[in-house]
Amino acid sequence: MGFSWDYLLQGFAIALTFQNLFWALVGCFIGTLVGVLPGIGPSSGIAILLPLTTFLPPTPAIIMMAAIYYGAMYGGSTTAIVVNIPGEASSVPTALDGYEMAKQGNAGPALAIAAISSFVAGTLSLVGLTFFAPLCANFALAFGPAEYFALMLMGLSLVISLSGRALLKGVISMSLGLLAALIGQNPLTGAARLTFGSIDLMAGVNFISVIVGVFAISEVMLNIEASAKAVSLVGIRNLMPTWDDIKRCSGAMVRSTGVGFFLGLLPGCAPSVTTFVAYDLEKRVAKDPDRFGKGAIEGVAAPEGANNATSTAGFVPLFSFGLPTAPSMAVLLGGLMMYGLQPGPMLFKNNPQFVWAVIASMYIGNVMLLILNLPMVGMWARIAIIPFPVLAPLIIFCSVLGTYSIRFLLFDVWVMFVFGLIGYFMRKLGFPIAPLVLASVLAQMLETSLQQSLLISQGSPLIFFTRPISLVFMILSALSIIWGIWVQLKKKGVEFAAAEGEE
């Protein structure tokens, strides 16, 4: 099993059927919309729509979910440039130079270079995904429960150590996520735990409710608090960038693809982190770094490229190990599981048509997005200035609809509401949110693999240290925590504050 052209071509054959093309287009459209609208990010966007796609077969459903995800990555830049409101945290660096360019009357070229850079980086990293994912999956075939447990532990500890200075708060956030997941029934025995005698709590806390709550609801509350201001639209003229612009940015596009893709393979390195890294890198390699922040076109190309490279790279660990690297990937993982597809090496073996169709559809989706974004950018910019008082109730309506439809339980809607409040206070008090979300998704797999490993080892936890691959993961998780503590003590580590927003 490794990469084979046959599989990829078969994937294209499936992805090019009318139904799959249609849902990819719908996904790209909704994704761009989600990206453009402030107050709703890709994670909550996918989470809300996930339960509503159950009428679709798995392949078109996941094709659409993936399209929403990378579509949102495209859309986030539009508002950052035109109205200086980054739709997502990952678009914050884009706004630095993008909005400056727009103020100078160059909104057109800025938008165009953002779309082109996204396209180039997205496609280049798709090539990376195409060859990398099967390789990793091959490697992961040797994994047993012990290796999976160690891998997920490493994922969680990386996410925590990337919380930067808020290491302790990262651990707390993760523990709260694990706690939420523990409520309900023991997955092995079905016995009630932490339910305080309540029958509702027996159903357990669904992580979709958690995600929609901490992202969508708390974001709406923050916006209601800030009382969304009226924004003015910058006129968009001469859409096309000059050849000179493209030549000037080609280096930035390639560099940001590299940065975005390879960092994006690591858990915790969400687009909101890598876009800053890529922007910073461009500033360093530039001959005249003074231009940055004053409308440098590379300052738009670099973060946008890194953004898309990272979001594509996240599919490598998701497909080959079943390990989500960011909250939005965790939602996609939930979607796969809802359809009974267990991501990981067996996915490539048992459902090759499915995986390759999704990968192939991403190549097609990238082209669709370029077409959707370049000529229609004016329309998207106008959508972005829908007044928040109109938008907020509609986001809440969609959130309620989405969470109710997971299991058709009103309880899930209440859980969403409660986690909305929790998310609001966590953001206000400086707790990172990503560890909570990842922990609540990973908890079940973490627990199951722990149980299975201990069954194999007859109760001895040494199993995690005697098997070589598992040992490596354990050492890496320890190292990442030590690194996190070291950064904390040095008190001048890189600030990853942006990682606290939604990816």
Partner 1 sequence: MKTQRSADIASGCFLILLGIVVLIAASQIRGGMEERLPPRTLPYIVGTTILACGALLALKARRSAGTETPITWPTRKAMIRMAISLLAILAYIAVMTPLGFPLSSGLYVAFSIWYLKRSAVLTALMSGIVTGVLSYFVFIRLLELSLPLGTLFFD
Q: How far apart are CA 424 and CA 219, in angstroms?
A: 7
Contacts of 51 (CB under 8 A, 6+ apart): 208, 402, 403, 405, 406
User: What is the closest distance, in whole angstroms, from the C-beta atom of residue 219 to partner 1 in the complex?
Assistant: 13
Q: Which of 2, 375, 389, 468 binds partner 1 (CB under 8 A)?
A: 389
Residue 339 beta carbon to partner 1: minimum distance, rounded to whole angstroms: 17
Q: Characterize 187-216 residue by residue with b for buried, 16 or more Cβ atoms within 10 angstroms of its Cβ, and e for exposed.
A: eeeeebeebeeeeebebbbbbbbbbbbbbb
The site map against partner 1 for 210-239 (x = CB under 8 A) is -------x---x--xxxx------------
> Contacting partner 1 (CB under 8 A), which of 379, 455, 475, 485?
455
Q: Which of 5, 18, 243, 408 binds partner 1 (CB under 8 A)?
A: 408
Q: Does 397 bind partner 1 (CB under 8 A)?
A: yes
Question: Restricting to residues 49-68, which ones interact with partner 1 according to CB under 8 A?
Answer: 52, 55
DSSP string for residues in 229-259: PP--PPP----SPPHHHHHHHHHHHHHHHHH
Does 10 contact partner 1 by CB under 8 A? no
Cα–Cα distance between 136 and 130 in angstroms, integer?
A: 11
Stretch of 11-19, 163-171, 207-215, 490-498 lying at the interface with partner 1 (CB under 8 A):
163-171
Give the nearest distance from C-beta 416 to partner 1 in angstroms: 9
Give the C-alpha separation, 465 to 451, whole Å. Answer: 16
> Counting contacts by CB under 8 A, is residue 458 touching partner 1?
yes
Site string for partner 1, 100-139 (x = CB under 8 A): ----------------------------------------
Q: Which residues pair with 193 in a beta bridge?
A: 184
**Of the candidates 451, 471, 472, 497, which one interacts with partner 1 according to CB under 8 A?**
451
Q: Residue from 394, 475, 478, 485 that binds partner 1 (CB under 8 A)? A: 394
Strands 192-193 and 184-185: antiparallel
Give, in degrees to the nearest 5, the angle at Cα 333 between 213 and 394: 35
- Residue 81 CA from chain centroid, whole number: 21
- Give the Cα separation of 419 and 409 in Å (integer): 16
Sign of CA dihedral 402, 274, 116, 231: positive
User: Is residue 385 within the footprint of partner 1 (CB under 8 A)?
Assistant: no
Residue type, 324: P
Interactions with partner 1, residue window 260-319 (CB under 8 A)? none
Q: How far apart are CA 500 and CA 503, in angstroms?
A: 9
Indicate the length of the chain as a whole number: 503
Which residues 423-442 are close enough to bind partner 1 by CB under 8 A?
Answer: 428-431
- Say whether 159 sits in a helix, a strand or coil: helix
Residues 164-193 that bind partner 1 (CB under 8 A): 168-169, 171-172, 175-176, 178-179, 182, 186, 188-189, 191-193
- Binding of residue 497 to partner 1 (CB under 8 A): no
The region that residue 2 occupies, defined by phi over 0 for left and psi between -120 and 50 for alpha, beta otherwise, is: beta
Q: Which of 137, 392, 441, 474 binds partner 1 (CB under 8 A)?
A: 392
From 400, 433, 487, 499, residue interacting with partner 1 (rule: CB under 8 A): 400
Residues in touch with partner 1 (CB under 8 A): 52, 55, 168-169, 171-172, 175-176, 178-179, 182, 186, 188-189, 191-194, 196, 217, 221, 224-227, 387-390, 392-394, 396-397, 400-401, 404-405, 408, 410, 413-414, 417, 421, 428-431, 447, 450-451, 454-455, 458-459
